[in-house]
Structure 1
Amino acid sequence: ELSLEHYSAASMSGTNASSEHINLKVQGQDGAVIHFKIKKNTPLRKLMTTYCDRLGLRAQTVRFIFDGNNVEESDTPATLDMEENDTIEVFQSQVGGCV
């Protein structure tokens, strides 16, 4: 009886988990796209760090943009009202301005 309750609780949390996740695309300036599956309430810092690690980039040298706005490390898909398969764009940060 306990194992049955445990099983049903686990299966219920399993069905909820799928609706908690969202698939996002991260597109670099070269047009290459990397797909991520992330929980809607997970800070995007994790996605940003993983993206930079995969491409050998330093986080300080890139900007992540969603709907024309900078994405902050503390933002989550939920706080940015992201939907399934939304795209985050990545740009090299402009350093300086004088030649």
Structure 2
Amino acid sequence: MNLTIDVKENGQEYQITLAGEIDAYTAPNLKEKFIEIAEVKNAYITVDLTNVSYMDSTGLGVFIALLKAIKKTEGTLKFVGVSERLKRLFDITGLTDILNVNSQVEGGVK
């Protein structure tokens, strides 16, 4: 399966738009891209999941690793465009409580 990763940068703000499936096959590329960005001090990262059709536990693991890396560099992470299906996955795993998950697409890097 495929995953498209589009990154727009404006200073320390990053708008990451994902499209496709996040699974064991695509997660390593995603993690590699996230780790680069997470190293930026005080980065403000918005991840748009509007066009993500599928995500498994591997994807959730990538997001947890990103959150940990972001905290070390005093950055901010939020998710927008979360479908009901993905929101349910975040809810079931308890990640809604620790990740900033919003179903609406708002703001972002222009």
TM-score by length of 2: 0.26
Q: Which structure's relative contact order is higher, taking Cα pairs within 8 Å and 6+ residues apart? A: 1
TM-score by length of 1: 0.27
Larger radius of gyration: 1
